[in-house]
Structure 1
Amino acid sequence: MAAPRLALSVFVLMLAVIALSEGLRGPGPKTCCQRYNEKPVPKERVVGYAQTSQRCAKPAILLKTVAGRQLCVRPSAVWVKELISYLDTKYTPGENTQV
């Protein structure tokens, strides 16, 4: 009689530990990329960028276009690095844009 109670107690405890550990991880990433856009995008068409979550299977950069679309691009591509550098210098915090 004691063995089934012990097994049930251990099982319930294991379920509680699993539920707690899953809850602490938080929600998954909002956007992950399955494919990359390989064609370079003109810098005039891009208004911003964001890096995907580290929990995504493929690392990627999300480019936001003037049309409001999001494109997944490979972060290691030379044209992507140049575009990010351009965007970072274009939108420097505290910069006075009025002439």
Structure 2
Amino acid sequence: MAPRGMITMTAVLLCFTLGPLGPAPATCSQMSRSCCTKYNTQPVPLQRIEGYREQTLKENCHIEAIIFYTVMKNEICATRKDLWVRKILKLLSSRLKKMSKAG
């Protein structure tokens, strides 16, 4: 039986080797990400949010979503259609602009 490290190294090398040949890079880079399958409808206070990312249909997920990362290391799936989501995205965007001007 092969050692665990050897199997992991083989998988990583396959991702890099097969990358130029087709859709393997997306598969390899998305291994650790899971897809949102439903939306949270309850607003989340801005103070609990550390960041976010967008989930798209290109990631082989069935819904588009905004995934908020909280200070408690939770992931909250939401839809951009909800007013509370748009407000938080706008506030986070303005914070980012202020930070980039300060630097």
Answer yes or no: same fold by TM over 0.5: yes
Match 2:48 to one of 34, 45, 49: 45
2:34 match: 31
> Deviation of residue 31 (structure 1)?
2.3
Task: Show structure 1 runs of 5+ residues with no match.
Answer: 1-19
How far, CA to CA, are the matches of 1:80 and 1:87 in structure 2? 11
Amino-acid identity (%) = 26
**Aligned partner letter, 1:56:** C
* 1:90 equivalent in alignment to 2:95: yes
- Determine the structure 1 residue equivalent to 2:74: 69
CA RMSD of aligned residues (A): 2.2
1:3-22 maps to which residues of 2 (within 5 A)? none
Q: Which amino acid aligns with 1:36?
A: Y
**Alpha-carbon contact 2:56-2:63 (below 8 Å) kept:** no
Higher helix share: 2
Q: Give the paired residue count.
A: 76
Deviation for aligned residue 1:65: 0.7
Partner Cα distance (1:42, 1:95) in 2: 26
Structure 1 window deviating more from structure 2 (58-67 vs 24-33): it is 24-33
Contact 1:31 1:52 in 2 (8 A): no
Q: How big is the shift at 1:53? A: 3.1
TM-score by length of 1: 0.66
Q: TM-score, normalised on structure 2?
A: 0.64
- Higher relative contact order at CA 8 Å, sep ≥6: structure 1 or structure 2? 1
Find the aligned partners of 2:72 and 2:96 in 1 and give their Cα distance.
19
Which structure would you say has the larger Rg?
1
